[in-house]
Amino acid sequence: MTPGTGEASTRWVRAGVGLELALDLPAGPHTPGSELVARLRFRNAAADPIRVYLLPEPFRNGTCTIVLAGGPAVQPSSFPPPRPHGHLPSEQDFPLIEPGGVLETTQTIVVPNAIGSVGLHWTYENHVQSWPGGVQTVDGPTQALFGGGPIPHIWIGKAEVLTRFDVAQ
């Protein structure tokens, strides 16, 4: 438990190059079909700033994805559901975390219709090193970000955080 929050918390997981990740969940057990709001935390343990690529919640699948799995009663599901259209990335989608700083965001999960322990697997990954713009999309043309060149202080890689939560009627 995180002191004073009533949340179950993972320990900080090293993602590499100074980035660390942690995941907090409201204390359970949780009711099948209810919404669970996970708190995703990014910490900069490096001496230099780190920039992450973090889209708004509905558009994160593929960069910041949560997968639920368990025994035979749990259908594997991922959050957020894939949503390929509706957002054109901007420089705001690349927040900078100063040394020692923590960036927090949330992700809503629907609790599966299964009783018992459910595994939660959060994967954060980024391979975007620049955003030159000029690509025509369903939502319009993309704009060059950070001058179209290398994104300053961008974190590149893949990291995973694993935890479990209980589901009860």
Contacts 24+ apart (CB under 8 A), 136-142: 137/85, 137/88, 138/85, 139/85, 139/86, 139/87, 139/88, 140/88, 142/88, 142/89
Fold of 7-167: Immunoglobulin-like (2.60.40)
Residues 128-139 have pLDDT tens digits of 999 999 888 888
Cβ atoms of residues 58 and 84 within 8 Å:
no
Residues 93-129 have pLDDT tens digits of 999 999 999 999 999 999 988 888 888 999 999 999 9
Q: Which of the pair, 168 or 91, is modelled with greater confidence?
A: 91
Which pLDDT band holds residue 7 (cuts at 50, 70, 90)? low
Q: What is the mean pLDDT of residues 53-63?
A: 92
Which pLDDT band holds residue 2 (cuts at 50, 70, 90)? very low
Residue 51 has pLDDT above 90, yes or no: yes
The whole-model pTM stands at 0.89
Residue 146 has pLDDT above 50, yes or no: yes
Q: If DSSP states are collapsed to H, E and C, what string results for the chain?
A: CECCCCEEECCCEEEECCEEEEEEEECCCECCCCEEEEEEEEEECCCCCEECCCCCHHHCCCCEEEEEECCCCCCCEEECCCCCCCCCCCHHHCCEECCCCEEEEEEEEECCCCCEEEEEEEEEEECCCEECCCCEECCEECCCEEEEEECCCECCEEEEEEEEEEECC
Sign of CA dihedral 52, 57, 62, 64: positive
Bridge partners for 130 per DSSP:
150
